[in-house]
Amino acid sequence: MVGTLRREDVPGTERLVGWVHRRRDLGGLLFVDLRDRSGVVQVSFGPEWSDGESLERARHLGSEDVISVEGEVVLRPEAARNPELATGDVELKARHLELLNPAVTPAIPVFRGPSEELPSEELRLRHRHLDLRRSELQGNLRLRHRLILAVRNYMDGLGFLEIETPILTKPTPEGARDYLVPSRVHPGEFYALPQSPQLYKQVLMTAGYDRYFQIARCFRDEDLRADRQPEFTQIDVEASFIQPDDLFGWVEGLMSTLAVVGEVDAPTPFPRMRYTEAMDRYGSDRPDLRWELEISDWTGALGTADSELLRGAVATGGRLRGLRLPGGGTLSRKEVEGLEVVAKAAGAPGLLWAKRTAEGGSGPLARWMEPEHWSATGAAEGDLLVVAAGPDRVTSPALAAVRAAVIRALKLPKVRAHAWLWVLEFPLFLEEGGRLFPGHHPFVLPHPEDVGRIEGEPTSVRSLAYDLVYNGAEFGSGSIRIHDAGLQRRVLRRLGMADEDIDRKFGFLLEALASGAPPHGGIALGMDRIVKDFVGAPSLRDVIAFPKTTAARALFEGAPTPASPSDLAELRLDVRVGRSE
């Protein structure tokens, strides 16, 4: 291939095919950079070694023309070598050129010079065939391929079977919105695309396939983010007769295998932290431990301050928590107020702050700060304190957002480049508006010590659910599952479902559990995010060949589109648009 030519190939005759990357016409001499997915090599044309017709054709080559050139591989003159190019010592002296397929002038350039901006995201997606020709994206997709291959080899080595599960499946009763697919055979009835193979893999466990995995496509009809696509790929894993430690060992082994491929560090075992501790120290269930900065609890330290706001927050059951930022005094008032904006955007009513200065202190909080308050927080001269007052459910997200912002603003040094973490014991239930929701999903096994509190104190029940976190991103989420039909029913009832609903929606699962389901558990790892973070891409769109926009459109092929009247008639569907109900 063109990118693999080296001085060892001199002398030799080659016929190379590829795309015209760039052309430099010096008059008598003419150079073409020929590109394929292996790289670029320089092809030279000149009257002494190129036939006349080929030379004339070469003069009119345009970017992205597909050509075939045949000639001698030669060492370039000493002064004309290009150390920036892997093939820079050699070139192909073209005897003959064939134009295999001329290309129209590309709508977006494939070649990009140093310091040239990428075309807009919209155009890159619209002309995806051109964008995908760039070496960055080709490199990303090549790494993705190698990671998937490594997953399959590793899981196979542990005795896991890859088993495919349906894409046309049953709507999920809770959770994300489903993509629905109408049934022609059963008018008015719909399949759903799977949000994950969750129930199928549990059924596979009951069927005795005690080690299952799948590179599984999943679909969720929810609004998108840079790290969320409506269809995405999970490494789905489930195994029987296991404890969390078994799974952690396998996943740590898998991740260090992938890390070698992706050239990142993944020293095992990964540290572990309980959910409550993560929320307490970092305000997040997926803390980014590349930085050490932690949240402090100053309820005792500042609760005595003569401030109505502070005392009020404590009196109503809240806490005073904040961050001590050594050297944060260098931030301007405007920058600190920017942190307050961040806190408000994350849902906090406000953010108090004080700088400790030689004269005492400055900032809205400073007037309440007596010497004992300063010392109780450990603030030294030049430090900045930011404090959020209120219930943890409000202050945690705010302080997590402020922590991230302040790390950026102060350019705090990383203490490690790759931070892996298991977060354990997620709550089984979350409460919102007086209603209970599953913390993870309704099939998670309650912590054995907490089962007795399911009815009485549901929000205090821990679960055997765990997340794998890398650099503050959720890489995977899993749990030990309920294998007892009675306990499963108990949990579903506690979530507010009536028995007939349970039987209708989950009857097949309960029946399977009751028919000899082994204890089992598993995890689902986000393949796209793994690739994204390993290559350092800013968006999932850079590691998916044909991604959707934030509005879930496919710009290249133009999906979705209205269905034709005949299709709708066959499906017996009526469409009403432009009417909001």
Between 17 and 86, whose beta carbon lies closer to RNA?
A: 86
Q: Does residue 370 contact residue 255 with C-beta atoms inside 8 Å?
A: no
Site for RNA (CB under 7 A): which residue of 550, 563, 568, 571?
550
CA atoms of 43 and 460, how far apart (whole Å): 70
Site for RNA (CB under 7 A): which residue of 1, 315, 345, 569?
345
Residues 393-422 close enough to bind RNA by CB under 7 A: 397
Residues 47-76 close enough to bind RNA by CB under 7 A: 47-48, 60, 62-63, 76
Closest approach, Cβ 371 to RNA, in A, equals: 38
Among all chains, which residue has been given the structure tokens 């599952």? 481
Closest approach, Cβ 8 to RNA, in A, equals: 18
What would the x/- binding string for RNA be over residues 300 to 339, using CB under 7 A? ----------------------------------------
Closest approach, Cβ 159 to RNA, in A, equals: 25
CA atoms of 301 and 28, how far apart (whole Å): 81
Choices 24-32, 233-241, 254-262, 374-382; region in contact with RNA by CB under 7 A: 24-32
Residues 84-123 close enough to bind RNA by CB under 7 A: 84-85, 88, 91, 93, 105, 107-109, 113-123
Site for RNA (CB under 7 A): which residue of 2, 5, 19, 33?
33
Site for RNA (CB under 7 A): which residue of 439, 458, 476, 522?
439
CA atoms of 30 and 56, how far apart (whole Å): 10
**Site for RNA contains 46 (CB under 7 A):** yes
Element (H, E) at 91: strand 90-101
**Site for RNA contains 371 (CB under 7 A):** no
Choices 150-158, 241-249, 340-348, 376-384; region in contact with RNA by CB under 7 A: 340-348
Instruction: List CB contacts of 558: < 8 A, sequence separation 6 or more.
Output: none
Angle, helix 485-494 to helix 499-514, in steps of 10 degrees = 160
Site for RNA (CB under 7 A): which residue of 54, 169, 195, 233?
195
Looking at residue 483, what DSSP letter applies? -
Choices 369-377, 437-445, 515-523, 559-567; region in contact with RNA by CB under 7 A: 437-445
**Site for RNA contains 170 (CB under 7 A):** no
Instruction: List CB contacts of 417: < 8 A, sequence separation 6 or more.
Output: 264, 265, 290
Q: Is the peptide bond before 560 cis (omega within 30 degrees of 0)?
A: yes
**Site for RNA contains 25 (CB under 7 A):** yes
CA atoms of 560 and 563, how far apart (whole Å): 9
Site for RNA (CB under 7 A): which residue of 39, 328, 363, 438?
438
Number of Cα atoms under 13 Å in the Cβ half of residue 289: 19
C-alpha torsion sign, points 186, 189, 192, 198: negative
**Site for RNA contains 225 (CB under 7 A):** yes
CA dihedral 570, 571, 572, 577 (to 10 degrees): -110
Number of C-beta neighbours around residue 538 at 10 A = 9
CA atoms of 46 and 372, how far apart (whole Å): 84
Between 440 and 489, whose beta carbon lies closer to RNA?
A: 440
How many residues appear in the chain? 581
Closest approach, Cβ 575 to RNA, in A, equals: 17
- Burial class of 208 by CB neighbour count within 10 A (0 to 12, 13 to 18, 19+): exposed
Closest approach, Cβ 477 to RNA, in A, equals: 8
Determine the size of the site formed for RNA (CB under 7 A).
Answer: 80
Residues 284-303 close enough to bind RNA by CB under 7 A: none
**Site for RNA contains 223 (CB under 7 A):** yes
Closest approach, Cβ 246 to RNA, in A, equals: 22
Between 200 and 298, whose beta carbon lies closer to RNA?
A: 200
Residues 554-573 close enough to bind RNA by CB under 7 A: 555
Closest approach, Cβ 36 to RNA, in A, equals: 17
Between 195 and 488, whose beta carbon lies closer to RNA?
A: 195
Choices 181-189, 195-203, 350-358, 512-520; region in contact with RNA by CB under 7 A: 195-203
Instruction: List CB contacts of 355: < 8 A, sequence separation 6 or more.
Output: 328, 329, 336, 361, 362, 363, 366, 382, 383, 384, 385
Residues 495-514 close enough to bind RNA by CB under 7 A: none
Choices 278-286, 299-307, 546-554, 562-570; region in contact with RNA by CB under 7 A: 546-554
Between 12 and 28, whose beta carbon lies closer to RNA?
A: 28
CA atoms of 83 and 90, how far apart (whole Å): 11
Closest approach, Cβ 476 to RNA, in A, equals: 12
**Site for RNA contains 176 (CB under 7 A):** yes
**Site for RNA contains 180 (CB under 7 A):** no
**Six-digit token pair at 240?**
């029987």
Element (H, E) at 520: strand 520-526
Closest C-alpha among 524, 513, 522, 521 to residue 488: 513
